[in-house]
Amino acid sequence: MASYTGLALLALSLPLSWAQQYPDCQNGPLSNNSVCDTGLSARERAQALVDALTLEEKLNLTHNNSPGVKRLGLPAYNWWGEALHGVAAAPGVQFSSSGNWSYATSFPQPISIASSFDDELFYAIGTVISTEARAFNNGKRSGLDYWTPNINPFRDPRWGRGQETPGEDTYLVKRYIDNMVTSLQGGRNPTSYKVIATCKHYTAYDLEGWQGNTRYGFDAIVSPQDLSEYYMQPFQQCARDTKVASIMCSYNAINGVPACANSYTIQSVLRGHWNWTADENYITSDCTSIQNMFTDHHAFDTRQQTVAAALNAGVDVDCGYYNPTFLPSAYSQGLFQESTLDKSLLRLYSGLAKAGYFDPPDSPWRSVTWDNVSTPEAEDLALKVAEEGIILLKNDGTLPLIPPEDRNLTLLLAGGWINATEQLQGNYAGPARTLVSPWMALQNVSNLNLVVVKWYENPMLRAIDTQADAILYIDATNEGADEGKDRNTIRWDAMQVDAVEMLATLGRPLIVAHMGEQVDDSALLNNPNVSSLLWAGYPGMLGGQALINIVTGKTAPAGRMPVTQYPADYVHQVPMTDMNLRPDPQTGNPGRTYKWFDNATVEFGFGLHYTNLSTAIGTPSNTSFDIQSLVSACNFTTYSHVDQCPFYPSGSTSSSLSVNVTNSGTTASDFVALAFIAGEYGPTPRPLKSLVAYQRLFDIKPGSSQTASLNLTLGSLSRYDEKGNQILYPGNYRVLIDVPTQNTWEFVLTGSEYVMDEWPQV
């Protein structure tokens, strides 16, 4: 979707009549329509509305900027809202330029949220965002549909939109989805939606613009194995398990068929195999993606065929103008049935009915107001998330840098992001009440003298001058990548390297805070004069405060890498257009993600602490399990799908794998317990390891221990064959705890292969 900063500014000057209004179900013309009858089901209510529409009116209601139907009292409605990490500007979300409704809580980017590996935090963020979204809706400034989250797994470090995602690992992405989407929608299987969440972009979308390939016309060639095991896993979580209300189809094609007219991905897999068939489950196009099927994919001869193909495939609303413009003539040409159009409208309005759009003003969530936006509690959460997401990559003991009580510590501050504010938010951010840069946060640290060196000054001259006690260099490099544009390099800019190398010669402790995108840090990691290195990504509105709290030891870091940090040369080893995850000697593809690439600069899951934390597995008594017995022990009343069934390593029905974490240092700290599975089973080549469980433990005091309960499932043990089938294989298994591995538990599975999920073939 296009970034809408520019459009949001334009929207400010539009008359208030643009505002999102509730239909008048009390006195207006719609009050006699059953759509306003709260005693009926959402579907019955939507059906009543659709029954009242003429064909021309129906054709008018198929794009995001719906004009409504005046005759019936159905107001205009914009389906396009954004709330990736806080309510954000979009054609369907209107901020005011000052005063009430001029900001919302702005959390860190999902890549930084994910680094916390904290499920409860994911849930809490979704709760705040959806509460604020309902406040904006009550303020007539937004609809109830939000096209978030972005859950394409972060496959290639060059991707311009990787910052919007919870990282490269499908298990982490799935945990993020389950918590975020569930809290946005108002709980598990809610009777009414708090807001309507949208998982995007379906599917195999993770290329913006790279060496002449654009997302609008890119054809992603993906093997059934990679599709099932990787690209589709987040959507399986959304559709089959978390039951997201809506899904967005992507710009690209998958194996020759554009995503928004792809009957395989939409009909066979999404609606068929995953049974994503609730009345309100609608699909939106990405913005202009229906048009792109004609202009970029050249998939159809006429515009009419193009819009009809999307509608017939099950795409219910066009973010763009192709549907309203060309559906009428497509209809006259007999390219689709009116009943197909009715089905789409039924889905769209069932969702709105279920979100209370046609309910009276005393219905749930109608009482939240501007007072509920960016509350002190919400902002405290934004700070906590930012702190939890910061990752310590290197430390010789310089951190934490605690100013002494009896004298002032002189800190030399250098780098392009020392006073960063909006940059801390990343893209798809709404305006925030306040933005705290690292420099601003340092103003409140006592016993500190700050010496600021501008990036263009020679830091050496200034530093010798001041005899700094320590140096803090804060910077990012991005090469202008964002939506629509990927990176060509994943290295620091030459001038930044030069500045750090000069600072490193000063003989002072040098702390580097790496902000923004992950790029190859090997020069910093290998330079003995770089004392400490943190990665803080895009830490949001209070990100500078979070960084300084970590630097000064007010908070201890415990974030973990949500992606692999690749060596800079990686970009020359595999083209972005090569979607294959597995290494391939034929093409030279070295493999993608920690599962397949074994020469990372910083490994997925890595992260240091200010204290010594060691782990021990409560070793289960059994070391051999029979596949058929595991499957027959599954309670299918409780678990709808065999991959969700628990694997009880101790052979009991209550225990999970326990990991005892002991703090033998002197600083209290959080710790993320991570469990991976590796082993010799299933098809080759085999993944190096796969994350199967994690738990963040909080505030482990010096000298004490806490125990993580890591719940493995039968799905944790599975692998995928070349057709994409998910299978339990006999063989030798290893559970690996932590990165780098601290403990290993080995076991075997016996018996014969069991197919857990037969993947639909094209």
Ligand X SMILES: *[C@@H]1O[C@H](CO)[C@@H](O)[C@H](O)[C@H]1NC(C)=O
Residues that bind ligand X (CB under 6 A): 29, 31-32, 56-57, 60, 67, 69, 99-100, 131, 275, 277-278, 368-372, 407-408, 419, 436-437, 439-441, 444, 449, 452, 522, 545, 567, 599, 601, 616, 635, 637-638, 656, 660, 662, 695, 705, 707, 709-711
Task: Output phi, psi for 64, to 5 deg.
Answer: -60, -35
197-216: b (≥16 Cβ within 10 Å) or e: bbbbbbbbbbbbbbeebbbb
Specify the residue, 34 or 711, whose C-beta has the smaller distance to ligand X: 711
Least Å distance, CB 106 to ligand X, is 15
Closer Cβ to ligand X, 138 or 203, answer by number: 138
The 3-class secondary structure across 596-647, one letter per residue, is HCCCCCECCCCCECCCCEEEEECCCCCCEEEHHHHHHCCCCCCCCCHHHCEE
- Nearest residue (CB) to ligand X, 213 versus 667: 667
Q: Which is nearer to ligand X, 604 or 729 (CB)?
A: 604
Query: Closest CB to ligand X among 5 and 709?
Result: 709
Within 95-190, residue ranges assigned H as helices are: 110-114, 119-138, 170-185
**CB of residue 658 to ligand X, shortest distance in Å:** 7
Other beta carbons within 10 Å of 7: 12
Minimum CB separation of residue 419 from ligand X in Å reads 4
CB of 573 to ligand X, least distance (A): 8
Write 31-39 long-range contacts (CB < 8 A, 24+). 31/73, 33/72, 35/349, 35/353, 35/358, 36/358, 38/359, 38/360, 38/363
Residue type, 485: K
Q: Please, which residues bridge with residue 680 across strands?
A: 732
What are 723's two structure tokens? Answer: 């057709």
Shortest Å, Cβ 164 to ligand X: 25
Q: Which is nearer to ligand X, 458 or 640 (CB)?
A: 640
Triad 152, 155, 156: Cα angle to 5°:
130
- Say if strands 470-476 and 510-515 run parallel, antiparallel, or are unpaired: parallel
Establish how many alpha carbons lie within 13 A of residue 185's alpha carbon, considering only the half-sphere containing its beta carbon.
30
Contacts of 227 (CB under 8 A, 6+ apart): 203, 204, 254, 724
Which of the following is catalytic: 145, 286, 643, 670?
286
Q: Which long-range contacts does 493-497 make (Cβ < 8 Å, 24+ apart)?
A: 496/415, 496/416, 497/523
Q: Amino acid identity of 133?
A: A
Structure tokens at 573: 């080893």
The rounded distance, in Å, linking the Cα atoms of 202 and 598 is: 29
CB of 566 to ligand X, least distance (A): 9
Rounded to a whole number of angstroms, the minimum distance from the CB of residue 494 to ligand X is: 18
In the complex with ligand X, the residue whose CB is nearer, 446 or 624, is 446
Q: How far is the CB of 472 from ligand X (least distance, A)?
A: 13
227 versus 378: smaller Cβ distance to ligand X: 378
Question: Between the CA of residue 340 and those of 58, 300, 641, what are the distances in Å?
Answer: 11, 20, 31
Q: What's the chain's Rg over C-alpha atoms?
A: 26
60: tokens are: 């008018």
Comparing CB distances to ligand X, the nearer of 182 and 656 is: 656
Query: If you search the block for the tokens 């990927």, which residue do you land on?
Result: 486
Q: How far is the CB of 252 from ligand X (least distance, A)?
A: 28
Nearer to ligand X, 213 or 522 (CB): 522
Q: How far apart are CA 759 and CA 643, in angstroms?
A: 13
Minimum CB distance to ligand X, residue 653 (Å): 8
The DSSP output letter for 32 is G
Q: Residue 64 to residues 322, 324, 349, 414: CA-CA distances in angstroms?
A: 11, 10, 13, 46
Is 239 or 313 the residue whose CB approaches ligand X more closely?
239
Task: List helix spans (H) across 409-504.
Answer: 438-442, 459-466, 494-504
Nearer to ligand X, 214 or 449 (CB): 449
User: How big is the CA angle at 668 (ends 666 and 671), to the nearest 5 degrees?
Assistant: 120
Q: Is 286 a catalytic residue?
A: yes
The CA distance from 324 to 157, in Å, is: 38
Smallest distance from ligand X to CB 597, Å: 9
Tell me the two tokens of residue 571. 């970009």
Residue for token digits 């020392």? 418
Closest C-alpha among 100, 126, 118, 84 to residue 378 = 126
The Cα–Cα gap between 14 and 26 comes to: 28
Minimum distance between the CB of residue 377 and ligand X, rounded to whole angstroms? 8
Structural tokens at position 37: 């009858």
List, by residue number, the catalytic residues: 286
